Amino acid sequence: MARQLVAVAQAKTLAYAKLGGHGMVMAVAKAVLCNWMVTLGVVMAMTSQSTSGKIAAMWLPILTFFAQGFEHSVVNMFAIPAGMMMGAEVSVRDWWLWNQIPVTLGNIVGGMLLTGLALQVTYRKRVAAVGAEATGAAPMTGEMVAGR
């Protein structure tokens, strides 16, 4: 177990550092895709009313995130320091510079833009159409209200 944590900590920091700028871009891209999968899991879980349906719906994007080796800042807050405590040749500077900062920024972008913005745009249109009906205003042309 200790050897695995050391290998993970080094792969998630020193491997990116060795690639330089390409490593930084790779870490950010893997983080964007990771949080897209995580937030999709949350959204998909809301599509079912049963517990088993919620579990099944969120299982696929979360499995994809783990299987593809995407980067999640919260997971890395455990994995990298644990590897460092077990003897990984990773400094705190390496951890923050080559993983935690770019991965956190990528996670924010992935969650906000790829899922959050899409939901905001979709929800805003739906609210505008429902609000027009409630006030007695003429319905907006070309827009459908979900669920009707």
AA letter at 106: G
143 falls within a domain: no
Domain that holds residue 58: 2-109
Tokens describing residue 103: 């991965």
126 falls within a domain: no
Q: What is the C-alpha to C-alpha distance for residues 23 and 20, in angstroms, rounded to an integer?
A: 5
131 falls within a domain: no
122 falls within a domain: no
95 falls within a domain: yes
Name the one residue in this structure whose structure tokens are 């505008």: 128
Residue 138: pLDDT above 60? no
Percentage of the chain modeled with pLDDT above 70: 84
Tens digits of per-residue pLDDT, 100-133? Answer: 999 999 999 999 999 999 999 888 865 555 666 6
| DSSP helix/strand/coil, 12 | coil
The secondary structure element, H or E, covering residue 37 is helix 21-45
118 falls within a domain: no
More confident residue, 120 or 145: 120
Dihedral (CA of 91, 30, 41, 129) sign = positive
Give the predicted TM-score (pTM) of the model: 0.78
CA distances from 52 to 57, 58, 75, 79, 123 (A): 9, 10, 25, 30, 26
115 falls within a domain: no
86 falls within a domain: yes
Task: Find the Cα–Cα–Cα–Cα dihedral 23, 29, 33, 125, rounded to 10°.
Answer: 160
The domain that holds 50 is classified in CATH as 1.20.1080.10
Name the one residue in this structure whose structure tokens are 């919260």: 74
Q: How many domains does the chain have?
A: 1
